[in-house]
Structure 1
């Protein structure tokens, strides 16, 4: 079901970014473009609190806001889409990791906007998403178009990860410890730890929560 907004009312937006200057710049631009900023947040905890008590039509959030209960962007976006799925979400980021961008789309994010783009271009993204469409800025579209948006399987992840790294990720997200994985795969704990870290580095993930979310939307769990 598409989420459509009445054309005669300003779109109510909650903004989130952990850089005050960036946050102020986006807010000023969107107000000038005729949008209503109903709340701003500097970390995931503030964003979630605003969503629980402030009516809005759309959330625009930075991907990476390390301070708070969701230090990894992929885990935060997954939480937002599961618990506030009725509210469209545009993610703004400088990230250019194809696997993570694809995982965000597979996880239900409605729009992807490159922070390098002029902020005024956000208007196009907002209007598209409010009309129930998916928006991917041209730079990101070029990165993800090689992988169909409907694909949410291991083949999407295998582009980035080796088979050994995939094995480790699959077992980790099933709740196994490094020691248990090492025993099952007949490798040393040190090797398992290194392969897990390499996989996370390749995917641009800084914390275990992001790896779990990536596995969930990529069908690796």
Structure 2
């Protein structure tokens, strides 16, 4: 390595050198659905993607909950979905469970996930779900347009912050297929047994720990993954290759 060369580039990390033909659902315009539970974020994203006199993108729908997002996807064709990772208000699960559902039922849609959560095992789990881009919500909004343009041309995009985190954990190389690597051994034990269908009491008896300890270790694992619902934990186990 050249000593003068920085370990991490300040530029976003892109995958794929050969641009693909953009998928255009409207004459000259790419159809986008935006989803976030904060209206100000939706407004800012729309302003960043569709400035005055721009004809590149068309926002065909906006959602403020997971339920509303799924309804829009069922009713309004789109080329790219830009969604918040966490939209906890409503009955439909958010987080990994929502992303997994979208991937299974709307696999043709190119998916960009916005989040402020930065734990490496969560970021890698999202990449394992074929998310096309990860956008840090602390980044400047104009960067969202760059991410969208990269995805439109067939490239995978990581914002600089997330790229550095994943490089630091070596998850993009040697451990890329193990997003569970950042959970402790005891947390992984609890997660594996939980997704097998065991209750907290049963896990405590088998591991000779208190129910309170089991509950805390499960909660810690979910916090690391940014999960609010048990369904997200099951989805994490599936995409990370844990034996269930």
Q: Give the CA deviation at 1:6.
A: 4.5
Deviating 4+ runs (over 6 angstroms): none
Gaps of 5+ in 1: none
- 2:5 counterpart residue number: none
Q: TM-score, normalised by structure 2?
A: 0.82
Which one of the candidate residues 139, 144, 158 is aligned to 2:181? 158
Which one of the candidate residues 148, 152, 156 is aligned to 2:172? 148
Give the secondary-structure state (helix, strand or coil) at the position aligned to 1:36. Answer: strand
- 2:44 counterpart residue number: 25
Distance in 2 of aligned mates of 1:16 and 1:3: 25
For the pair 1:39 / 2:39, whether they are aligned, the reply is: no
Distance in 1 of aligned mates of 2:48 and 2:150: 18
Mapped contact 1:158–1:166 kept (Cα < 8 A):
no
- 1:102 counterpart residue number: 124
Distance in 1 of aligned mates of 2:74 and 2:21: 19
Gaps of 5+ in 2: 1-19
Distance in 2 of aligned mates of 1:52 and 1:3: 25
Distance in 1 of aligned mates of 2:21 and 2:123: 22
For the pair 1:89 / 2:111, whether they are aligned, the reply is: yes
Mapped contact 1:15–1:60 kept (Cα < 8 A):
yes
Which one of the candidate residues 131, 135, 139 is aligned to 2:153? 131
More helix by proportion, 1 or 2?
1
Q: What number of residue pairs does the alignment pair up?
A: 217
Q: Give the CA deviation at 1:28.
A: 2.2
- 1:5 counterpart residue number: 23
What is the aligned-residue RMSD (CA, Å)?
2.0
Distance in 2 of aligned mates of 1:167 and 1:75: 21
Distance in 2 of aligned mates of 1:54 and 1:198: 38
Query: Which of these two proteins has the greater Rg computed from alpha carbons?
Result: 2
Distance in 1 of aligned mates of 2:238 and 2:21: 25
Distance in 2 of aligned mates of 1:199 and 1:52: 32
- 2:205 counterpart residue number: 183
